[in-house]
C-alpha cells in the first residue's frame, strides 16, 4: 500500500489519539492528514458525510472497547453506509484487547485489514504504508 492521504484515529482515549498522531507525524511527516475522534459516532457521521462527496484513500485505526459505540458497532455502521468501504479504507483494529475472540472476529471481517495491539508502533505503521 502507498502512503494514505488521510489517517483517521477512532479511540475514546484522547491520550492514545495524541500519542498515535505523534507516531504518525514522526513516521510520515506531513504526508497524511491525521483526524482524531474520541467520540465514535462523530467519526461515523464525518465519514458518512465527507466520503460521499470526495472519497480519498484512508487508513482507519479503530479501538474496540469504547462506550456507547464499540469498534464493532462502528464497523457495522460503516457497512450500512453508501460508501465503498473496501475500496477507500484500510481499517486496522488498534486495541489493548488480548481476547482471542476479538482477534478472530477482526480476521474474519472482510472490512478489517489487520489487528494491532496498542500502542501503535512505528514499524507497524511503516509496513502498513509500504515504507521499508
Q: Is residue 131 part of a domain?
A: no
Q: Is residue 63 part of a domain?
A: yes
Query: In this predicted structure, what is the pLDDT of residue 1?
Result: 66
Residue holding cell 494514505? 4
Which secondary structure element, helix H or strand E, spans residue 128, and what is its range? helix 122-128
What is the span of the domain harbouring residue 40?
A: 6-97+110-126
Q: Is residue 1 part of a domain?
A: no
Q: Is residue 18 part of a domain?
A: yes
Q: Is residue 104 part of a domain?
A: no
Q: For residue 3, what is its C-alpha cell?
A: 502512503
Per-residue pLDDT reduced to its tens digit, 10-28: 999 999 999 999 999 999 9
- Number of structural domains in the chain: 1
Of 39, 128, 115, nearest in space to 77 by CA: 39
Kindly report the CATH number assigned to the domain that includes residue 79. Answer: 3.40.50.2300
Query: In this predicted structure, what is the pLDDT of residue 86?
Result: 77
Q: Is residue 11 part of a domain?
A: yes
Q: Is residue 103 part of a domain?
A: no
1 vs 86, higher pLDDT? 86
Q: Are 94 and 118 in contact (CB under 8 A)?
A: yes
Distance, in Å, from the CA atom of 78 to the CA atom of 129, rounded to the nearest integer, reads 22
Mean pLDDT on 110-126 = 95
Residue 37 has pLDDT above 80, yes or no: yes
Q: Is residue 10 part of a domain?
A: yes
Query: In this predicted structure, what is the pLDDT of residue 54?
Result: 82
Query: In this predicted structure, what is the pLDDT of residue 55?
Result: 84
Mean pLDDT on 46-61 = 91
Per-residue pLDDT reduced to its tens digit, 94-109: 999 888 999 999 999 9
Amino acid at each position: 500500500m502507498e502512503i494514505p492521504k488521510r489517517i483517521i484515529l477512532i479511540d475514546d482515549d484522547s491520550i492514545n489519539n495524541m500519542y498515535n498522531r505523534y507516531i504518525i507525524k514522526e513516521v510520515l511527516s506531513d504526508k497524511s492528514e491525521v483526524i482524531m475522534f474520541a467520540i465514535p459516532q462523530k467519526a461515523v457521521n464525518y465519514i458518512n458525510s465527507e466520503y460521499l462527496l470526495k472519497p480519498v484513500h484512508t487508513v482507519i485505526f479503530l479501538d474496540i472497547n469504547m462506550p456507547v459505540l464499540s469498534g464493532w458497532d462502528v464497523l457495522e455502521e460503516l457497512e450500512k453506509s453508501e460508501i465503498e468501504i473496501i475500496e477507500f479504507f484500510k481499517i486496522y483494529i488498534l486495541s489493548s484487547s488480548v481476547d482471542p475472540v476479538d482477534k478472530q472476529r477482526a480476521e474474519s471481517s472482510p472490512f478489517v485489514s489487520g489487528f494491532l495491539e496498542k500502542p501503535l508502533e512505528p514499524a507497524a505503521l511503516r509496513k502498513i504504508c509500504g515504507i521499508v
